[in-house]
Amino acid sequence: MTSGDKTMNHRVGASHLELPRLGLGTGSLGGMIPGSDEQANAVLDQAWASGLRLFDTAPWYGTTRSEHCVGHFLRNKPRDEFIVTTKVGRVFKRPDRGFDFEQSPWRRRWPAGLPFVPHFDYGADQIRRSYEDSLSRLGLARVDGLAIHDLDIGHRKTDAEVDRGFAQLDDGGGFEVLAEFKRSGEIGAIGAGINLPGYIPRFLEHFDIDYFILAGPYTLLDQQALVEELPLCQERGASIIIGAPFASGILATGAEEGARHRYTAAESDIMERVALIEAVCCDHKVPLAAAALQFPMAHPA
């Protein structure tokens, strides 16, 4: 996750929170592919040894597994030496008796995730519960930022469900809980995780968001957010964090067999475009992954 120089901090929106320009997003530690806790710990250990001190997680990643992994690692570090952010919008419960979790869409999404079932809810009570549950999984008394997660058509499936989520944040008091957390110093900043273009304007129309985590609409491969979202964030003073600078894999691996784009196998047209980008990088003796990581940092948002 990119937010340049790993040690150079930047103020987040209208908050007092400052973030370094580089951090580690931990969605993959939730178990997109089978892997051990030892492997997850080794990734976190290498990130720490490389100087990274910003760690972003979410209950959704691995149906709570990522928060456990991140917490297990970070709780053994001095609390004033790292920044950790997580997300709200889903509450996790054990499956009902007789429910076959192994055949569920959540097991298919997170093959190495934990057996807990997500329930979307952005209302006040569930925001509080989500926050407290995250603290328990992390084993930490506080986090530095909370982001509203996946309130879009891709995850909620219908416009009515998206509208319902925004209503829970607004009339249902969910956002006011986040605002109170910020006012009281419980958290440093309020964010929103965005996967698709078109939602940043809606959030900013209703709420004072300090930062957006963009996972997809602005990379070396895709600049949809350049038209409206990034200029609007500049105008409103909201910060942008690029949550998937490698487009979930292909801008790190290149156009090789099995390359991943937006969490699935890359289609032929994407493979062709990335091969052309790789050729330009090769001509200038710049690694594709370096170009992908540096690209979003050129924009003032």
Active site residues: 56, 61, 87
Beta-carbon count within 10 A of 117 CB: 16
**298: Cβ contacts below 8 Å, ≥ 6 apart:** none
CA-to-CA distance for 71 and 77, rounded, in angstroms?
Answer: 10
**Tell me, what DSSP letter sits at residue 225?**
G
Give the dihedral sign, CA 130/90/246/192.
negative
CA-to-CA distance for 271 and 221, rounded, in angstroms?
Answer: 11
CA-to-CA distance for 108 and 129, rounded, in angstroms?
Answer: 26
DSSP count for the chain of H helices, then E strands: 12, 13
Q: Tokens at residue 35, please?
A: 């892997």
CA-to-CA distance for 237 and 103, rounded, in angstroms?
Answer: 44
Phi, psi for 10 (deg, rounded to 5): -130, 135
CA-to-CA distance for 20 and 233, rounded, in angstroms?
Answer: 19
Separation in Å, CA 179 to CA 40, 112, 162: 33, 34, 21
Phi, psi for 212 (deg, rounded to 5): -120, 135
Residue whose token pair is 């006011």: 176
Of residues 288, 298, 282, the one with CA closest to residue 250 = 288
